[in-house]
A and B are shown apart, each in its own frame.
Chain A
């Protein structure tokens, strides 16, 4: 590929050795000790009463950024309203459950016993408006018309806002050999069709999707 000049080593061990030498160790040493703890050189916290110099132009905490202004952005961040849901739609918020690790553990027998499926969290006022009952199965449809593969149970709770719904990420697997995980709950990523990108630093926001509830099973379009 003509990129050989960028990889001027025969064995990757040479690279590891070079990297370790930068912190005062070597591959030979690490192969014998396995784990080496290097003492911290800087304090963990800024002690009160000390004159700390930040790595900014003024040496102080700087909120007004000259670099951003030069790049054509606001020097001070200005609030810009973010897209709001239409009537009948709710912001889809996703998160994690402490017992599961992303979608990796969805097929773990012990952890499935703890939390077999996710549920869609709905504020009681929203539930009353829609006539949703506890543990009722609903299908979710997002603003672009994408309908969830499986149904999900409703959880009515005060822990969620009126304009949002919450589901735990990592469920709704559609791979049949995953015996315990298959078809349990809803996959949030299939409903995330819109990704907002921050124009300044390129961070992505995936909570700008809106969903509505379908109380009866929708007819699936043939793929």
Chain B
């Protein structure tokens, strides 16, 4: 997934879409909007971006899970098997993006890239509702996909590269 920080207005529509689509309990969220302000007035720059699980290729959460509840699903999407999860919270501690939370029902929950929608060929809920169309979702292995085109032509960064987790979400700058 790629997100355009220059287009994002920080409306949090993605957050509400995710909460409604995935029945996220009130007070919790799988994605959120970060606002980063740099400099002092009048030379201020601001970056808005929608953050979520980075579905890392080298996931510390999958590695540290004692029961195998955290696993890689189709296409490298990192998922939590709610039946296997014992809610120990080791993955919450290991995640450099703070993308996971403890569900009140006793398991750990996180962004699934809306895998139930992706399997039907749809975009994740957050991508499909974005009013500024600042999110791109697709297959990085497909050279003709839109996301590959976007990443070819724009500068981008990923979050916490020093953690060495190989995150799969790219922020266009």
Interface residues of chain A, those whose CB is within 8 Å of chain B, are 98-99, 109-111, 113-115, 123-124, 157-162
Contact = CB atoms under 8 A, between A and B. Distances in A.
Interface in B92-131: none
A157 B26 contact: no
Given A99-B11, A109-B26, A114 B41 contact: no
Contacts of A160: 41
Interface of B: 9-13, 15-16, 19-20, 26-27, 37, 39-42, 44, 46
Given A99-B11, A159-B46, A113 B41 contact: no
A111 B16 contact: yes
Contact of B37 (A110, A123, A157, A162): A157
- Main SS class of interface, B: loop
A98 B11 contact: yes
A161 B12 contact: no
29 contacts: A98-B9, A98-B12, A99-B12, A99-B13, A109-B26, A110-B16, A110-B19, A110-B20, A111-B16, A113-B26, A113-B27, A114-B12, A114-B15, A114-B16, A115-B12, A123-B41, A124-B40, A157-B37, A158-B37, A158-B39, A158-B40, A158-B44, A159-B41, A159-B44, A159-B46, A160-B41, A161-B41, A161-B42, A162-B41
Nearest to B42: A161
A124 to B, nearest CB: 8
